[in-house]
Amino acid sequence: MWGDMRVLIVDKEPVARSTLAEVLATRSDIEAFDSADNVTEALDKLQEEEYDILLLDSPMPEMSEIDLKTRRHEREGFSKIERNR
């Protein structure tokens, strides 16, 4: 549908990460996927790679989804966060 997409799975539960990875592996429109078990690791991966989709477990123990977006934007030099409605 959208072409080859890159996906980052962020979930504290290994079973959830592996199950999502198995499902994504069956999709022809997913070019690649990666996983992180916490928000700090996700931020590091987001700095190293570009992803089209971020699948984020909620709630994460370290910070909320909004905090993650804020930190990512701060690292990338953005000053404003757009809210999806």
CATH number at residue 27: 3.40.50.2300
Q: How far is CA 39 from CA 1, 8, 33, in A?
A: 29, 11, 16
Q: Of 2 and 26, which is predicted with more confidence? A: 26
Does position 15 have pLDDT exceeding 90, yes or no?
yes
Q: Tell whether 83 is covered by a domain.
A: no
Q: Tell whether 66 is covered by a domain.
A: no
Q: For the chain, how many structural domains are there in total?
A: 1
Its domain, for residue 22, covers 1-57
Q: Tell whether 64 is covered by a domain.
A: no
Does position 85 have pLDDT exceeding 60, yes or no?
no
Supply the pLDDT for residue 4. 84
Q: What is the average per-residue pLDDT within 24-47?
A: 87
Q: Tell whether 85 is covered by a domain.
A: no
Q: Tell whether 44 is covered by a domain.
A: yes
Model-wide pTM > 0.85: no
